[in-house]
Amino acid sequence: MYVPRQLLSVFRGVLGYGSIGRQVARVAKAIGSDVHAFTLHPRNTPESRRDESYTPPGLGDPEGLLPSKWFSGSTKEDLHNFLSSGLDLLVISLPLTDKTKNLLSAPEFKVLSAKKTFVSNIARGPIVNTPDLIEALDQGLIRGAALDVTDPEPLPDGHELWSAKNIIITPHISGMSTSYNERVFAILEYNLQRLSEGKELTNKVNRKEGY
């Protein structure tokens, strides 16, 4: 994930605090940033902030200790409360569902304009409304954007997003790692261990939530 030098030691919002979002928070804290987290469901207790998903040792935030503020909810009001919490950088790490499609559009960019928040999308392209993002960039409502995903994807030659102001686009590679296959098998091993101990499997798909 590309981060401009002027955005170090700032307030970072992590929209979607799952395994990926928690590692984003760890990196942010390591370079001196404060972190605000947003989740769909409330995480008001230390136990609720724990994450039982597989996490490589020394990475992520399995105990949920890194954010200085937690936000949650499923309404636009809940989302705007988070977006207006003084964020210099917003990192989107949500799954794509019917509820998150076009989650960030013109009203959200208007909220972000108060701080001219820099937006980084490492999740799925359709979570952000592309025409509204282009307008927000061209009008200077936000400082810039770094997109590892786009809508449409792959982005066609000549698409106006290529020429939008203050934008960096990468070809959906932020999840690539030489350790990817190793960690896939580590999840399997972790679940086999949990199964042998009579524990519930982790990293499961929730069909009701859509991810």
List pLDDT tens digits, range 111-158. Answer: 999 999 999 999 999 999 999 999 999 999 999 999 999 999 999 999
Q: How far apart are CA 195 and CA 106, in angstroms?
A: 46
> Looking at per-residue confidence, does 154 or 2 come out higher?
154
Say yes or no to pLDDT of 174 above 90.
Answer: no
Q: How many CA atoms lie within 13 A of 96 on its CB side?
A: 14
Q: pLDDT averaged over the chain?
A: 93
Q: 5-176, what's its fold? A: Rossmann fold (3.40.50)
Distances (CA, A) of 122 to 170, 172, 202: 10, 8, 23
What single letter denotes the amino acid at residue 85?
Answer: S
Looking at residue 5, its pLDDT comes to 52
Known active-site residue 172: yes
Q: Give the pLDDT band (50/70/90) at residue 177.
A: confident
**Residue carrying the six token digits 């001196």:** 32
pTM score: 0.90
Say yes or no to pLDDT of 1 above 50.
Answer: no
Looking at residue 4, its pLDDT comes to 52
What secondary structure letter does DSSP report for 48?
T
Q: Give the pLDDT band (50/70/90) at residue 180.
A: confident
Say yes or no to pLDDT of 162 above 90.
Answer: yes
Q: Give the pLDDT band (50/70/90) at residue 16.
A: very high
Q: Which of 22, 43, 124, 143 is flagged as catalytic?
A: 124
Task: Give the least confident one: 42-51, 53-62, 80-89, 171-180.
Answer: 171-180
Q: Which of 135, 153, 183, 194 is flagged as catalytic?
A: 153
Q: What count of other Cβ atoms lies within 10 Å of the Cβ of residue 138?
A: 13
Quick one: average pLDDT of 57-78? 97
Segments of the chain assigned to CATH 3.40.50.720: 5-176
93 token code pair = 């790490």
Task: Give the least confident one: 7-21, 22-36, 65-79, 187-201.
Answer: 7-21
Q: Give the pLDDT band (50/70/90) at residue 49.
A: very high
Q: Which of 26, 50, 172, 183 is flagged as catalytic?
A: 172
Q: How far apart are CA 209 and CA 189, in angstroms?
A: 26
Quick one: average pLDDT of 35-43? 97
